[in-house]
């Protein structure tokens, strides 16, 4: 059982929805980033998605892309990203950390070496945007063998015929992408999302978390109501990008978490 499985078991027992927050590792700089990540559990975040910066984030909008650029310009690397997880683990051994990014930095490090290092650093799961089920042999299967969750994205274009393939090697939870588009773009509509989540849940026992296009506490609440939880990324990263201090960022996160937990 990973920290992710344990967290969802606990949430279920409490009858609460999950609030998942995404931040880019090393944004706006390494030290501030560590401070923000350390503050997330206290602000009500159930699962942390830690962005692994990449030069070419094809599925992300300008907000996340600029955050990645800030991090890379500040010298952020894969190893420094794992170091942020280690810093959190010094004081928190229960909040799951999911590393989210693109395959090339991981491939460049070498899959086996990366998995060993990530596991040791306290990473619990991976979301790798450019690894669909067709490429499961690359990282998904080795990651599960190493005891890490591999969380798959399901999207509005994932039809019933394809859904079993997407769910097949997914573990931890299913991340439903609420819109066709990039992060931080259009608003997620609960009316569209609800039936889709139900469709996925009819084929899996895994929790279904919804992300993309959720920007406010109200949106987090309405979306969490029709799913097992909600993810907010760009709206938080936007605050960091605008230069908000750590306390203000965490206060904003607290509001979002409150919204999701009200559901």
Partner 1 sequence: MANDLFNSFMSGPDENGRFGDFGGRFVSETLMPLILDLEAEYERAKTDETFWAEMDDLWTNYVGRPSPLYYAERLTERLGGAKIYFKRDELNHTGAHKINNVLGQIILARRMGKTRIIAETGAGQHGVATATVCAKFGLKCIVYMGKHDVERQAPNVFRMRLLGAEVIPVTSGRGTLKDAMNDALRDWVTNVRDTFYCIGTVAGPHPYPAMVRDFQSIIGKEAKEQMMAAEGRLPDTIIAAIGGGSNAMGLFFPFLDDKDVRIIGVEAGGKGVDMKMEHCASLTGGRPGVLHGNRTYLLQDDDGQILEGFSISAGLDYPGIGPEHSWLHEVGRAEYVAITDKEALEAFQLCCETEGIIPALEPSHALAHVAKIAPDLPKDHIICMNLCGRGDKDIFTVARHLGFDMSDTVGRDAD
Q: Is 156 helix (H, G, I), strand (E, B) or coil?
A: coil
Q: What proportions of the chain, in percent to the nearest 5, are helix, strand and coil?
A: 50, 15, 35
CA distances from 101 to 50, 53, 57, 218 (A): 8, 7, 8, 27
Q: Where are the alpha helices (DSSP H) in 74-216?
A: 78-89, 103-109, 111-121, 140-145, 163-168, 190-201
Rounded to a whole number of angstroms, the minimum distance from the CB of residue 214 to partner 1 is: 17
Question: Using the rule CB under 8 A, is 106 a contact of partner 1?
Answer: yes
Q: Which residue has the tokens 């799913």?
A: 227
Catalytic residues: 49, 60
Interface mask toward partner 1 for 150-179; x: CB under 8 A = --xxxxxxxx--x---x----------x--
Question: Using the rule CB under 8 A, is 65 a contact of partner 1?
Answer: yes
- CB neighbour list of residue 223: distance below 8 Å, 6 or more residues apart: 178, 188, 190, 193, 210, 214, 230, 263
Q: Which is nearer to partner 1, 75 or 147 (CB)?
A: 75
Question: Using the rule CB under 8 A, is 38 a contact of partner 1?
Answer: no
List the interface residues with partner 1, window 119-138 (CB under 8 A): 129-135
Question: Using the rule CB under 8 A, is 204 a contact of partner 1?
Answer: no
Question: Using the rule CB under 8 A, is 244 a contact of partner 1?
Answer: no
Rounded to a whole number of angstroms, the minimum distance from the CB of residue 22 to partner 1 is: 16
Buried b (16+ CB within 10 A) or exposed e, 65-79: bbbbebbbebebbbe
Question: Peptide bond preceding 28: is omega within 30 degrees of 0, i.e. cis?
Answer: yes
Question: Using the rule CB under 8 A, is 180 a contact of partner 1?
Answer: yes
Question: Using the rule CB under 8 A, is 77 a contact of partner 1?
Answer: yes
Q: Which is nearer to partner 1, 106 or 123 (CB)?
A: 106
Stretch that binds partner 1, among 31-39, 61-69, 190-198, 237-245 (CB under 8 A): 61-69
Q: Where does this chain bind partner 1 (CB under 8 A)?
A: 53-59, 61-62, 65, 69, 72, 77-78, 102-109, 129-135, 152-159, 162, 166, 177, 180-182, 185
């Amino acid at each position: 059982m990973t920290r992710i499985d344990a967290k969802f078991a606990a949430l279920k027992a409490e009858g609460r929805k999950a609030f998942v927050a995404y931040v880019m590792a090393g944004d706006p700089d390494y030290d501030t980033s560590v401070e923000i990540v350390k503050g997330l559990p206290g602000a009500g975040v159930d699962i942390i998605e830690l962005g692994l910066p990449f030069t070419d984030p094809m599925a992300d909008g300008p907000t996340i892309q600029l955050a990645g650029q800030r991090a890379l310009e500040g010298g952020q690397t894969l190893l420094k990203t794992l170091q942020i997880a280690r810093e959190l683990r010094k004081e928190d051994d229960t909040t799951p950390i999911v590393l989210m990014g693109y395959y090339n930095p991981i491939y460049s490090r070498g899959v086996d070496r990366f998995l060993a290092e990530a596991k040791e650093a306290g990473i619990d799961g991976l979301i790798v945007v450019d690894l669909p089920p067709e490429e499961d042999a690359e990282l998904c299967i080795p990651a599960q063998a190493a005891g890490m969750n591999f969380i798959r994205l399901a999207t509005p274009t994932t039809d019933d015929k394809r859904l079993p393939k997407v769910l097949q090697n997914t573990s931890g939870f299913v991340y439903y992408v609420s819109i066709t588009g990039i992060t931080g773009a259009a608003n997620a509509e609960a009316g569209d999302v609800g039936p889709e989540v139900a469709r996925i849940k009819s084929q899996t026992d895994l929790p279904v978390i919804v992300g993309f296009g959720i920007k406010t506490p109200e949106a987090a609440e309405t979306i969490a109501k029709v799913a097992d939880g909600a993810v907010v990324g760009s709206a938080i990263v936007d605050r960091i990008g605008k230069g908000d201090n750590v306390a203000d960022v965490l206060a904003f996160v607290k509001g979002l978490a409150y919204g999701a937990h009200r559901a």
